[in-house]
Structure 1
Amino acid sequence: MLPVPSSTLLRHPRWWALLAIGLCLGYAVVTVSRLPVWALPTVAGAWLVAGWLLRWGAPRHPRPGARVWPWSLLPIALLGIYVYLNDSFGIVDLGAIFFHLQAGMSDHGGGERLVAAVLYTLSMLALLAAFTWLVRVDHRWRQGERLLALILLASNPLLYGMTQRGAAIVTDDGAWLDRRYIEPAIFEAPASPPNLLVLYLESMERTYADRERFGDAYADLEALGERGHVFEGVRQLDNTGWTMAGKIASQCGTPLMPAGLLHDRQFEPLGRVVPGVDCLGDLLAEQGYRLSYLGGASTAFAGKGLFYEGHGFTEVIGRAELEPRLEDPDYINDWGLFDDSLYALTLEEIRRLDAEGNGPWGVVNLTIAGHAPNGYPARACRERQGEFDGVDILYSVACSAWLARYLVERLEDEGLLENTLVMIASDHLTMRVSVWDQLTAGERDNTFILLGPGIEGGTRIRREASMIDLFPTLLEAMGFTIDKHRAGLGVSLLAGPYEQTLVERHGLEPLNARMREENALQQRLWEGLVPNRPEEPEGEETPPADEQVVESPYDATGEVPASVQ
């Protein structure tokens, strides 16, 4: 028998179907694992060899085909969504998905992902068509395909997380975290409260300070840190890993547990953001502070405007307000203003507040240069650093660090930072970028630097902490007396090691497990938008407010969350 020419093989739909499935399988394996890109053709090739040996799509004893729709189509599509999210962000955060769906995603700057989304959609259609063809022509796949559907559903991390959050709604005792919540309050203020400047540097985690892995990309922030307090070991809890979550954690002392299924108007956008708790803006407004927020992106995206307007800020300024003030109206990116433009306008705002002189001021600022996947380096950086290749995130990291240092030094030169505390922090750890493998090779932590009066230079404080601890630390650094060095779930990192943070006492994973299993803290955050929290059972005493870490009969047993047992 003469061999079948390869051209005939390529014309056979069997090989096209197997090739489509193999390539998609290889891409999924490479994306969700730490395997290098060259593993993709290896996985696809192994799939094709298996298909040839087992004669998938061409059984030796074929049975009549059947025009059926595979049960696995939906599980495959859901797994494809997970792979897309993993490829886009590195970590799939269900909390972020729930929050953005309800808080709003208008005016986002993710235009560069639209092409990727189209390619993913076309690839998924090809995969589903190929798999349907295989099931219809090969009876062996029809027989085992329902089991495959169950396996795909059970192994999808996206669905696993959803079921855990759903289970939290019916948890008998879902208040372990809520019992540790301390109502933020200022008991005593200094005679001359300092002004406050908060610079959130998008995705600028302190991990970049490792010169062996990342060179001098972080050098300008290191230089600033030598003049103040540098905090090391600020980890990332669940529900603090995206911009609004990081801001709320560091300004409210609590993870952002989205309203999710508890929101009482599921098909309407949120009207308020975490209305049930007091945050930095609420406390400072009561002390007579004039508060402004400036960001280059739209304040409509992810509820930023709602958050600041609902928590004490009188000026909430974003892309819509700042873009008309640009000298060059075409000098914008997908999200909005570049950071050099934003900082110039921030300087103008601080000059205005300082000139008014009606009590202390506070300015919160959010940059964009370090935004994954490639960053948005400003024109000033390109003139200083040379050409940007469009991919290297370290170029953008160096840009963000230099611009922050330049702003601080310019404010100092103009005398605008007298009696002013400066906080420089990343909003969260970065998502998937060009140096992702190096970043995820070891422990990671967030940037947290304090500069200003009473802050001794060259001080490094290493504590196992999280973004929720920034809130009470900032209040104490400003000279305010707070309740037992605590606010929300956070503990001041200036209080010394005898006041343990939740991470120091319990560890990251047990705390994350609690968040997946509980809903009382979630109800506290969204009080007024969700059904009332259940009352304490009659006869059960609530622990005093200062008992943050010794606790209830549930804790006395040493019981750990079910998901980590």
Structure 2
Amino acid sequence: MKPPNTLTHLRHPRWWALLVIGLWLGFAVAALPRIPLWSMVPITGGWLLLARCWRWGAPRTSRPVRRVWPWSLFPIALWGLYVFLANSFGKVDLGAVFFHLQAGMEEHGGGERIIAAILYTLSMVLLLASFTWLVRVDHRWRLTERLLALALLAGNPMLYGIGQRGVAIVTDDGAWLDRQYVEPVILDAPRDPPNLLLLYLESLERTYTDRERFGEAYAHLEALGEKAVVFEGVRQVDNTGWTMAGMIASQCGTPLMPAGLLHDSQFEPLGKVVPGVDCLGDLLADKGYALSYMGGASTRFAGKGVFYRDHGFDRVLGREELEPRLEKPGYMNSWGLYDDTLYELTVEEIRRLERQDGPWGLVNLSITGHAPHGYPARDCRERQGEFDGVDILYSVECSAWLARRLVERLEDEGLLENTLVVVASDHLTMRVSAWEQLVTGERDNTFMLLGEQLEPRRLEVEASTMDLLPTMLEAMGFVIDWHRAGLGVSLLSAEPTLVEEHGLDTLNARLREETALQERLWEGLAPPQGPPPPPEPVVEQVVETPEDQAPEAPEELP
């Protein structure tokens, strides 16, 4: 018995190809404006309805199939990459893409994103194959798809961003940011300089304080802030929105403008990270500080180890160095150590530093709040109950509780005497389960200072993470030039910040258009400019042998 005529039509490759194109179109439209994912169903249905009305893939006037390659394949692939990045991270940051490509992505964690990337790639191959089939069998698409290729290229935000960066070559004033830069210099130091404990809480932005949107997720950090100087209004400028960029912004006072063509070798990972500027580690090392960095993830990822070793740190401890010290080696996530384990080892490291003479500094990077879902530790699961694997607020609460517990434990053990404790988010979070609630208003980063000499209070500021460097230095009692370091201004002073004076939009526009600050950051990595100098002319030197130097025989007398 023959199947119904409708089913016969559905078996035709035409409908499978059109369905793949429609699903991708629906997904892209749903993902980019952040509308509900189910909306891709009516979008796909509308596409298939148009395809049926216009008989796409089955024109009334048939022409021979031509084995051509569509001009639109590359533009479509670029859009696919853009959709993947936007759906994964919320905002496509080309600076982050370029930096990670050059700094190296070795020992990358987040296995779920690797799986997602593989699935995206496979679906993109299906899309390109389906579109190629449609163009080959339907001459109408062959006539118009070149115009489609141009439209896709012109409308892709990735290419628009690259074009804006290229404007830097012809910008009238390409050194405005560089002129704002103030070389970090310590003019005077206290007689008994304090220790420094700098806790970076991965993606734990202060926006989570809004209890109407996020409940009690941030409550433990708010409790910690009751005895701290809390800064409200620390914004995020471009090129500071991922972990390495956030740490460099707060420790060097500059955005992380990728090396680009200034890199000495385009086919190998960076050998140095921002070698042209002095950062927090350089300044403290010059004052005799013993410096350690600790993080649960690999220090080989994104140049973390290179940065810290080159900027004054004696000990750089990541996954490779800390994993052998675990009591339970199997207790790991795809990035590395869970934070309850990391903080136990942090206490041990501080005890070691306390036994030494002289001041110390320790920088610590957590992993619990990492997008998209976080990596809540076992201690949190025992306290908070089962984790559904999706809810980022569960991980935010876990991260805040672990940080508060660590600080209180160190206080109880007397390990924070004459110590400045800094609690900060490395950057705003990327796309997470609470994304729609996060982006409904202004967002700001966590930044608080705890110390014996600091009076607890809340300060409303208009600042960026670049202002953390001079603020930390002044909180430690150091005197710096004009309350400034890098592009940052101490938030404990009355000096206006660049965000207050010029606004985020102006700073971001300058970052896209200028190159002088970038050249400062990567000074020493740039290949020599222009042709090599001509070789020195070789001057033949005559050296007399001992025989040459013998006295000549006297002339015979007549």
TM interval, short-chain normalised? over 0.9
Q: d(CA) in 1 for partners of 2:125 and 2:415?
A: 58
State the match for 1:368 in structure 2. 367
Cα distance per residue 1:370-417 (max 9 Å; x no partner): 000010000110011111111111000000000000000000000011
Q: How far did 1:35 drift? A: 1.1
State the match for 2:140 in structure 1. 140
State the match for 1:405 in structure 2. 404
1:484 aligned partner, one-letter code: W
State the match for 1:389 in structure 2. 388
1:82 maps onto 2:82 in alignment = yes
Q: d(CA) in 1 for partners of 2:338 and 2:239?
A: 27
* Conserved 8 A contact 1:523-1:532: no
State the match for 2:332 in structure 1. 332
Q: How far did 1:326 drift? A: 0.5
State the match for 2:513 in structure 1. 517
* Conserved 8 A contact 1:292-1:362: yes
Q: d(CA) in 1 for partners of 2:250 and 2:294?
A: 17
Cα distance per residue 1:313-338 (max 9 Å; x no partner): 10111111100000000001111100
Q: d(CA) in 2 for partners of 1:531 and 1:138?
A: 51
Q: How far did 1:120 drift? A: 0.7
Of 470, 475, 478 in structure 1, the residue corresponding to residue 476 of structure 2 is 478
1:17 aligned partner, one-letter code: A
* Conserved 8 A contact 1:22-1:44: yes
Aligned 1:162-201 pairs, distance under 5 A? 162-201=162-201
Q: d(CA) in 2 for partners of 1:62 and 1:490?
A: 67
Q: d(CA) in 2 for partners of 1:435 and 1:24?
A: 24
2:477 aligned partner, one-letter code: G
Of 481, 484, 487 in structure 1, the residue corresponding to residue 485 of structure 2 is 487
State the match for 1:56 in structure 2. 56
Aligned 1:479-558 pairs, distance under 5 A? 479-496=477-494, 499-531=495-527
Cα distance per residue 1:31-76 (max 9 Å; x no partner): 1112111211011111111111111112222322211110000110
Cα distance per residue 1:245-268 (max 9 Å; x no partner): 000000000000010122232112
Q: How far did 1:532 drift? A: 7.3
Greater CA radius of gyration, 1 or 2?
A: 2
State the match for 1:424 in structure 2. 423
Cα distance per residue 1:328-379 (max 9 Å; x no partner): 00001111100000000000000011122x1111000000000000100001
Q: How far did 1:189 drift? A: 0.9
State the match for 1:120 in structure 2. 120
Q: How far did 1:4 drift? A: 6.9
Q: How far did 1:309 drift? A: 0.5
State the match for 1:100 in structure 2. 100
* 3-state SS of paired residue (1:359): coil
Q: How far did 1:533 drift? A: 9.7
2:475 aligned partner, one-letter code: A
Q: d(CA) in 1 for partners of 2:200 and 2:207?
A: 16
1:253 maps onto 2:253 in alignment = yes
State the match for 2:446 in structure 1. 447
1:129 aligned partner, one-letter code: A
Q: 1:21 to 1:489 in 2, by over 3 A?
A: same
Q: d(CA) in 2 for partners of 1:325 and 1:212?
A: 42
Q: d(CA) in 2 for partners of 1:194 and 1:533?
A: 44
Q: d(CA) in 2 for partners of 1:272 and 1:64?
A: 58
Q: d(CA) in 1 for partners of 2:5 and 2:446?
A: 61
* 3-state SS of paired residue (1:38): helix
Q: How far did 1:452 drift? A: 0.6
Q: d(CA) in 2 for partners of 1:532 and 1:379?
A: 52
Cα distance per residue 1:202-245 (max 9 Å; x no partner): 00000111100000000000001111111111111100000000
Q: How far did 1:171 drift? A: 3.6
Q: How far did 1:169 drift? A: 3.8
Q: 1:221 to 1:107 in 2, by over 3 A?
A: same
* Conserved 8 A contact 1:249-1:256: yes
Cα distance per residue 1:430-449 (max 9 Å; x no partner): 01101111111111110001
Q: Name whichever of 6-15 and 334-343 sits farther off.
A: 6-15
Q: How far did 1:191 drift? A: 1.4
Q: d(CA) in 2 for partners of 1:518 and 1:531?
A: 19
Q: 1:408 to 1:430 in 2, by over 3 A?
A: same
Of 459, 466, 471 in structure 2, the residue corresponding to residue 468 of structure 1 is 466
State the match for 1:278 in structure 2. 278
State the match for 1:544 in structure 2. none
1:104 aligned partner, one-letter code: G
Q: Name whichever of 158-167 and 446-455 sits farther off.
A: 158-167
State the match for 1:359 in structure 2. 358
TM-score by length of 1: 0.92
* Conserved 8 A contact 1:175-1:521: yes
TM-score by length of 2: 0.93
* 3-state SS of paired residue (1:329): coil
1:14 aligned partner, one-letter code: R
State the match for 1:239 in structure 2. 239
2:163 aligned partner, one-letter code: T
* 3-state SS of paired residue (2:191): coil
Q: How far did 1:155 drift? A: 1.0
Q: How far did 1:163 drift? A: 2.2
* 3-state SS of paired residue (2:361): strand
Q: Which runs of 5+ in 1 are unaligned?
A: 535-565
Q: d(CA) in 1 for partners of 2:209 and 2:219?
A: 7
State the match for 2:318 in structure 1. 318
Q: Which runs of 5+ in 2 are unaligned?
A: 531-558
Q: How far did 1:109 drift? A: 0.4
Cα distance per residue 1:462-501 (max 9 Å; x no partner): 11111100111111111111111100000111112xx111
Q: How far did 1:174 drift? A: 1.2
